[in-house]
A and B are shown apart, each in its own frame.
Chain A
Amino acid sequence: MSAPPSPLVGPALLRVRNLKTYFVTEHGKGTARAVDDVSFDLYPGETLGIVGESGCGKTVTSLSILRLVPEPPGHILPGSVIEFEGRNLLALPAPELRAVRGNQIAMIFQEPMTSLNPVFTVGDQIAEAAIIHQHLSRRAARARAIDMLRLVGIPDPDERVDHYPHQLSGGMRQRVMIAMALICHPKVLIADEPTTALDVTIQAQILELLDRLQQELGMAVLLITHDLGVVAGHADRVVVMYAGRVVETAPTERLFDQPTHPYTEGLLAAVPRIDAPRARLHAIPGQVPAATAWPSGCRFRPRCPYAWEKCQEEPGLLETGSPGHTARCWLVTEPERRQVKR
């Protein structure tokens, strides 16, 4: 974990406002409102975790930032704003966007196996961004690629630079992905489930590497994950998403101490703990609704143990009174309702 940038002073590096990314579903029958009015800020040097289960919209949010959502079937609605250093990326002409993408904002993906091109050496793939964005010569870019391989902890970088992706293990491939993303020293790294496909001992290596590189390079990290354990150990602040919405934001310790939204509370209780004795787990009843048919009112209402009449109307993100802690739940204004479970 990097030093917490609190209080969060100065301007945000990345401001996401009212982001709506919808998809037209097959046969044009409906609209999947995958990301539905999402707002958050990313400050310089911090790690912001975006956490949620399948279908909550966390990956579509990250793809929308770099305009990587395939259009069609997807489209980002007018009125959405993604502001990076004062410019709205969504309004940028393609050449200017390309100068940001992979240069000042870089991204690593879940599947290191499928995100690398199998017919190019890892050296070529790492060097590509430096040739394009920093206009380095091939020779200089290759030297940079070797430096990057060394930086991400790959042994024998002078040899590995000429290897193809299939010659590397899953953990090594993810290191290559990181080297590729960081070669231009981006200000923002978007890491979308960077360790989900990896074994737990390899996951620990990669998370440690990301923490170290963040401190050395001083970049901001947007860490997208379904794993509350990963968030707890590596994020300064957390955004919890459910059904295309942000339902809670808080500094990490605060979120785990005082989860306020019933979804966050349920999710935390459902995680099997390594330090707890064998016991029944707390399950959230039901399942995540489909993005084509979000429930009316509060979207968590059908699964919520506290829901009452008022929840037919969805609240905005309400201030809990603790700095930086907001939750989209009427329990913030009527905490006594928490005593009444259905």
Chain B
Amino acid sequence: MTLVEVRHLVKYYAGERGWFGLGRPRPPVRAVDGVSFTIAAGKTLGLVGESGSGKTTVGRTMLRLQEPTRGTVVFDGKDVFALDAGPLRALRRQMQIVFQDPYSSLNPRMTVAETLREPLEIHHLTGEVSALLDEVGLDAAFAQRYPHELSGGQRQRVGIARALSVAPQFIVCDEPVSALDVSVQAQVLNLLADLQARRRLTYLFIAHDLAVVRHIADEVAVMYLGKIVERAPAAEIYAQPRHPYTRALLSAVPEPNPRAAKQRIVLPGDIPSPAHPPPGCPFHPRCPHPLKSERCHTEPPPLREITPGHVAACHYAEQPM
């Protein structure tokens, strides 16, 4: 059963004016440019991309932490963007977020207990702080501590407990382990997996690290310059990536194996600015596909089904590289 559906989501940021606001407006930044996907209840979609791909904007816009430019998000049958403040607040109880940086996402003047009680008060709910702490693997004694007394991993556990406090169905996890050391990262990933199983949570898991996503996602979508370029069940996308960008991303992950004699694809050039996406296929200036042609410069490839459940936006997705 589908819990979340995103259809043709678009988010443009107005271009800045140069010359102290007096010059001509610059072109808008196309942060998210027509993104669609669904997430089934109890499942995890991994949303992967590099800086500027729009992955964080997708998560924030879905929760209406930012207003969309166009598009629809349907959550549990309700049109999120059509709701007024009252019903939106009620719906927010079902949709929570865990942020990347556990250092800046907790109020330094609030104790852990106060941080966890705040959402309960907003939503007129009752809940036990000690039970929440226990659920995320923290001792009840942490309730009276302030964020600066906690390590990065402990802070991220508090951030997760805060999201859980209102018993949501859906959590956007925005790079929840990127700021953590490897040994602690594994603890937090395991915790998220346990909570999902116990509470039947649905996750949108945003990350830049394909290896991390592999350990949590049921389905993976790869973004480049505001667009999804490939989406498939997790096992499938790792075994048989179709888009040249996904293939390059996979090959670029440094593997902790000195004998990994894999064919590394090192992409040339930089990620273009989302204010000036290249025409045609946005990936064509960096694309290493041997069949790359004139068509790629002019004709944007649609996201099309290559095998059942596996879509990719490449004219030559069927051909090996």
Partner of A274 from B238, B264, B271 at Cβ < 8 Å: B238
Q: Which residues does chain A contribute within 8 Å of B249, judged by CB atoms?
A: 200-201
Partner of B254 from A199, A229, A256, A282 at Cβ < 8 Å: A229
B232 to chain A, nearest CB (A): 14
Tell me, yes or no, whether A232 is within 8 Å of chain B by CB.
yes
Q: A201-B252, A204-B264 are in contact. Are A228 and B182 (CB under 8 A)?
A: yes
Partner of A200 from B208, B214, B235 at Cβ < 8 Å: B208
Q: Which residues does chain B contribute within 8 Å of A285, judged by CB atoms?
A: 187
Tell me, yes or no, whether B287 is within 8 Å of chain A by CB.
no
Tell me, yes or no, whether A114 is within 8 Å of chain B by CB.
no
Chain B residue with Cβ nearest A279: B215
Tell me, yes or no, whether A85 is within 8 Å of chain B by CB.
no
Q: A272-B189, A274-B238, A287-B151 are in contact. Are A204 and B183 (CB under 8 A)?
A: no
Residue with the highest number of chain A CB atoms closer than 10 Å, among B153, B186, B264: B186
Partner of B181 from A54, A233, A256, A275 at Cβ < 8 Å: A54
Complex interface residues of chain B between 228 and 273 (CB less than 8 A to chain A): 234-235, 238, 248-260, 264, 266-268, 270-271
Q: Which residues does chain A contribute within 8 Å of B186, judged by CB atoms?
A: 270, 272, 281-284
Tell me, yes or no, whether A227 is within 8 Å of chain B by CB.
yes
Q: Which residues does chain B contribute within 8 Å of A275, judged by CB atoms?
A: 255
Q: A252-B258, A288-B181 are in contact. Are A229 and B50 (CB under 8 A)?
A: no
User: Would you call A273 and B211 a contact (CB within 8 A)?
Assistant: yes
Chain A residue with Cβ nearest B184: A287
B167 to chain A, nearest CB (A): 24
Tell me, yes or no, whether B190 is within 8 Å of chain A by CB.
yes
In the bound complex, how far is the Cα of B153 from the Cα of A227, in angstroms? 18
Interface size class of B (residues with CB under 8 A): 35 or more
B220 to chain A, nearest CB (A): 11
A12 to chain B, nearest CB (A): 22
User: Would you call A273 and B181 a contact (CB within 8 A)?
Assistant: no
Tell me, yes or no, whether B120 is within 8 Å of chain A by CB.
no
Tell me, yes or no, whether B10 is within 8 Å of chain A by CB.
no
User: Would you call B252 and A203 a contact (CB within 8 A)?
Assistant: yes
User: Would you call A268 and B256 a contact (CB within 8 A)?
Assistant: yes
Q: Which residues does chain A contribute within 8 Å of B154, judged by CB atoms?
A: 287
Tell me, yes or no, whether B212 is within 8 Å of chain A by CB.
yes
Q: Which residues does chain B contribute within 8 Å of A274, judged by CB atoms?
A: 210-211, 214, 238, 250, 253, 255
A110 to chain B, nearest CB (A): 14
Partner of B183 from A207, A231, A252, A284 at Cβ < 8 Å: A284
User: Would you call B182 and A271 a contact (CB within 8 A)?
Assistant: yes
B200 to chain A, nearest CB (A): 18
In the bound complex, how far is the Cα of B260 from the Cα of A253, in angstroms? 11
Q: Which residues does chain B contribute within 8 Å of A281, judged by CB atoms?
A: 186, 189-190, 215
Tell me, yes or no, whether A97 is within 8 Å of chain B by CB.
no
Q: A201-B248, A272-B212 are in contact. Are A233 and B51 (CB under 8 A)?
A: no
Partner of A229 from B181, B214, B256 at Cβ < 8 Å: B256
Tell me, yes or no, whether B185 is within 8 Å of chain A by CB.
yes
A270 to chain B, nearest CB (A): 4
User: Would you call A228 and B256 a contact (CB within 8 A)?
Assistant: yes
Q: A53-B182, A171-B270 are in contact. Are A233 and B255 (CB under 8 A)?
A: yes
Total chain A interface residues with beta-carbon distance under 8 A? 47
User: Would you call B266 and A208 a contact (CB within 8 A)?
Assistant: yes
Chain A residue with Cβ nearest B215: A272
B101 to chain A, nearest CB (A): 14
Complex interface residues of chain B between 29 and 78 (CB less than 8 A to chain A): 50-51
Q: Mark A202-224, 1 if CB is under 8 A from B, else 0.
A: 11110110000000000000000
In the bound complex, how far is the Cα of B193 from the Cα of A169, in angstroms? 36
User: Would you call B267 and A232 a contact (CB within 8 A)?
Assistant: no
Complex interface residues of chain A between 50 and 69 (CB less than 8 A to chain B): 53-54
B145 to chain A, nearest CB (A): 15
Q: A232-B255, A256-B256, A273-B255 are in contact. Are A199 and B51 (CB under 8 A)?
A: yes
Chain A residue with Cβ nearest B185: A270
Complex interface residues of chain B between 156 and 200 (CB less than 8 A to chain A): 181-187, 189-190, 193
Partner of A199 from B208, B234, B259 at Cβ < 8 Å: B208
User: Would you call A253 and B259 a contact (CB within 8 A)?
Assistant: yes
Partner of B211 from A266, A272, A283 at Cβ < 8 Å: A272
Q: Which residues does chain B contribute within 8 Å of A200, judged by CB atoms?
A: 50, 208-210, 249, 252-253
User: Would you call A253 and B182 a contact (CB within 8 A)?
Assistant: no
Complex interface residues of chain A between 120 and 166 (CB less than 8 A to chain B): none
Q: Which residues does chain A contribute within 8 Å of B209, judged by CB atoms?
A: 200, 272
Tell me, yes or no, whether A267 is within 8 Å of chain B by CB.
yes
B278 to chain A, nearest CB (A): 15
Tell me, yes or no, whether B95 is within 8 Å of chain A by CB.
no
User: Would you call A232 and B260 a contact (CB within 8 A)?
Assistant: yes
Chain A residue with Cβ nearest B189: A281
In the bound complex, how far is the Cα of B213 from the Cα of A200, in angstroms? 14
Q: Rank and list the top 7 A-B pairs by shortest CB-CB distance, nearest first.
A: A229-B254, A281-B186, A284-B183, A283-B186, A199-B50, A53-B181, A204-B252
Beyond the given A54-B152, A200-B208, A278-B217, could you list 17 further A-B residue pairs with CB under 8 A, ordered by the A residue number?
A170-B51, A172-B270, A200-B210, A200-B252, A204-B267, A228-B182, A229-B254, A229-B256, A232-B260, A270-B186, A272-B215, A273-B214, A274-B253, A276-B214, A281-B189, A282-B186, A287-B183
28 pairs across A/B with beta carbons < 8 Å?
A54-B181, A169-B270, A171-B270, A200-B209, A200-B253, A201-B248, A203-B252, A204-B264, A205-B266, A205-B268, A208-B266, A228-B182, A229-B254, A232-B255, A232-B256, A233-B255, A252-B258, A253-B258, A256-B256, A256-B257, A268-B256, A271-B256, A273-B256, A275-B255, A279-B215, A281-B215, A283-B184, A287-B183
